[in-house]
Chains A and B, each alone.
Chain A
Amino acid sequence: MTTRPRLRKLALTAHIVSSVGWLGAVVVFLALGIAGLTSQDAQLVSAVYLAMEPAGWSVLVPLSLASLITGLVQSLGSKWGLLRHYWVLMKLGINLLASVVVLLYMQTLAFLADVASRTASAGGDLSGLRSASPVLHAGAGLLLLLAAATLSVYKPRGMTRYGQRRQHEQRKLWSEPLATS
């Protein structure tokens, strides 16, 4: 299944924009996580954890799903395919894993926001709220997304068994008309 060049360019643009946007959002979350962990300003710490949840729902989750969907469209609509090349397969795995982790992690962000909100309104000490969790998750996510971006650019060679079989079938199809003519 292949799509028209214009449509494919549009899908590719959407995939790049959503993926790069997701990567940028993760970098912002990493910066927020570091600020929440290290800042001495209680208001800033509270604001960081309060902002993470709505930002996660409005930025991280939509961009991760957009990257996944546009990636699927892009691969299925081109000759690269989804399961033919190891680098595409690996990118799919990274994207799926990161998207699932983002969705699951929203529960933690909601918890942190709730604790920050209650502690701040009660005028409590926020030192116990400081968590390394957002930094760890954002750092791991950033590494994964950088790996996916590197795979996209370098496209290391290597075809799956399925890809080799499909290539063999296509070569047979191309050579048959030549042999008969």
Chain B
Amino acid sequence: MSDSSPYTDARRDSVDDVGGGEPGRGSTTGAPRWVRASAIIALAIVLMVGLMLLLGSGKHGPGRHTSGDAGDPATPTRTMEFLTGRDRVPTFDGTGSGGHTPPAGGHGP
């Protein structure tokens, strides 16, 4: 870029490279067409992503995209247990071993 103005350097390469540099061409009031088109595209993308998040029960972030019960980022072990088939379901006796807990008196002699 030149020292005095960005426009002089841009002109050296190509007049069309100048961002609003040419008097009367870039200095029109209001945003140019490409800015308006970009804004519309950006708005459409934001709306689409927002809609997808809403339809996806509003969850976004760690674990949302993995399969299995990985919705809670604070407890990654749940995903691991799910994946390894060692899901534990809390039981009334507080052992947390769920289906692996032998029923009372079931295994007794």
Contacts and interface: CB of A to CB of B under 8 A. Distances in A.
Interface residues of B, number: 42
A79 B18 CA distance: 12
A156 B66 contact: no
Main secondary structure of the interface of A (DSSP, over half): helix
B3 A163 contact: no
A88 interface: yes
Contacts of B38: 90
B31 A125 contact: no
Residue from B29, B66, B77 with most neighbouring chain A CB atoms (10 Å): B66
B26 A159 contact: yes
B76 A111 contact: yes
Main secondary structure of the interface of B (DSSP, over half): loop
Interface string A107-124: 110111011001100111
A61 B61 CA distance: 18
Interface stretch (A13-21, A23-31, A63-71, A129-137): A129-137
Interface of A: 2, 5, 8, 12, 78-80, 84-88, 90, 104, 107-108, 110-112, 114-115, 118-119, 122-133, 136, 154-159, 163-164, 167
Interface of B: 1, 3-7, 10, 16-22, 25-27, 29, 31-32, 34-35, 38, 61-68, 70, 73, 76-77, 79-80, 82-86
